[in-house]
Amino acid sequence: MINLYNQTCQEISKLITNNYSTSFSMGIKVFAPKFRTPIYSIYGFVRFADEIVDTFHDSDRKLLLEEFKKETYLAIERKISLNPVLHAFQEVVHQYGLELEHIEAFLKSMEMDLYDIEYNDATLKEYIFGSAEVIGLMCLKVFCEGDNNEYKRLEEWAKSLGSAFQKINFLRDMKSDFEERGRTYFPNIDLTNFCQEDKAIIEADIQKDFDHAYIGIKQLPAGAKLGVFTAYRYYLSLFYKIKSAPAHNILSERIRINNGKKMYLLTSSMVKNRFGML
């Protein structure tokens, strides 16, 4: 019956992914079948940790996160958990050799979101590594299926993609982060006087991450390439939409890509992949 329990926990992480993120759900669906379940399980884990610090404002978030951390490490140590998200995640940790230091870095970044931190270049780099780059590295571990040489070869490109995605999220969510959570991630930027010049500096940095990441995407294993490329194109499209918007719009609305556009990006990515154009 343990197989039934494992499957049930995996299905819960899949449900979480589908409910919380249409873009990542679309990307995962075009992975090779062998990659879908572990990626759902990684997403379920990071989504729930993020939910603690971003959403549960009427609860003791610090206590909840501390309990979540303890339960995570216990699940990994015992290779079982009655928390279905953590049970599914620990399976991936053991099967694919996810690194504990990456899990620790991720949880540290989640903890940073509990406090009013005035970020400088060093602390922002630490935050982005833990909140985004290590997630890319966890996924890369799955895609490389134990081939450590391949993992090391692709590692820096995976980090660049995670970094680009996170910085786009910062821009997209700048209004809610600043007004609702009191967060300002970009150093030396005064959001009460956010201007086109500030926005252009941030965008140039993001473009470098995207350009570097694309080199690695083209070298991913065949079963992973299309899904990652689809997510890349979705975020790139969002990036271009943000770039075209005036600076004052970033602080007055949350810029989005509609589902019709996402479906177009998925379909056209499939065509590119089919004809060897990636």
The pLDDT score that the predictor gives to residue 259 is 86
Counting every residue written for the chain, the total comes to 278
Which residues make Cβ contacts (< 8 Å) with residue 181, sequence separation at least 6?
54, 113
CA–CA dist 92, 3 (Å, integer): 15
Q: Residues 23, 15: contact at Cβ < 8 Å?
A: no
Q: Which two tokens stand for residue 204?
A: 């140039």
- Tell me the three state secondary structure of residue 114: coil
The pLDDT score that the predictor gives to residue 245 is 93
> Angle CA(270)–CA(274)–CA(277) in degrees, nearest 5?
90
CA–CA dist 197, 236 (Å, integer): 20
The pLDDT score that the predictor gives to residue 89 is 98
The pLDDT score that the predictor gives to residue 16 is 97
Give the phi and the psi of residue 29 in degrees, each rounded to 5: -65, -20
The residue type found at 223 is: G
pLDDT tens per residue across all 278 residues of the chain? 799 999 999 999 999 999 998 878 888 999 999 999 999 999 999 999 999 999 999 999 999 999 999 999 999 999 999 999 999 999 999 999 999 999 999 999 999 999 988 899 999 999 999 999 999 999 999 999 999 999 999 999 999 999 999 999 999 988 888 777 777 898 888 888 888 999 999 999 999 999 999 999 999 999 999 999 999 999 999 999 999 999 889 888 888 988 889 888 888 888 877 777 77
Homologous superfamily of domain range 2-274: Farnesyl Diphosphate Synthase (1.10.600.10)
Q: b vs e for 187-218, b when ≥16 Cβ sit within 10 Å of the residue's Cβ?
A: eebebeebeeebbeebbeebeebbebbbebbe
The pLDDT score that the predictor gives to residue 233 is 94
179 burial class (0-12, 13-18, 19+ CB within 10 angstroms)?
A: exposed
Closest CA to 46 of 87, 89, 96, 98: 89
CA–CA dist 163, 49 (Å, integer): 19
CA distances (Å), origin 234, targets 138, 227, 237, 267? 20, 11, 5, 12
Distance of CA 222 to the CA centre of its chain: 21
DSSP letter for each residue of 214-260: HHHHTTS-HHHHHHHHHHHHHHHHHHHHHHHS-HHHHTT------HH
CA–CA dist 19, 41 (Å, integer): 14
Which residues make Cβ contacts (< 8 Å) with residue 66, sequence separation at least 6?
none
Structural domain spans, the chain: 2-274
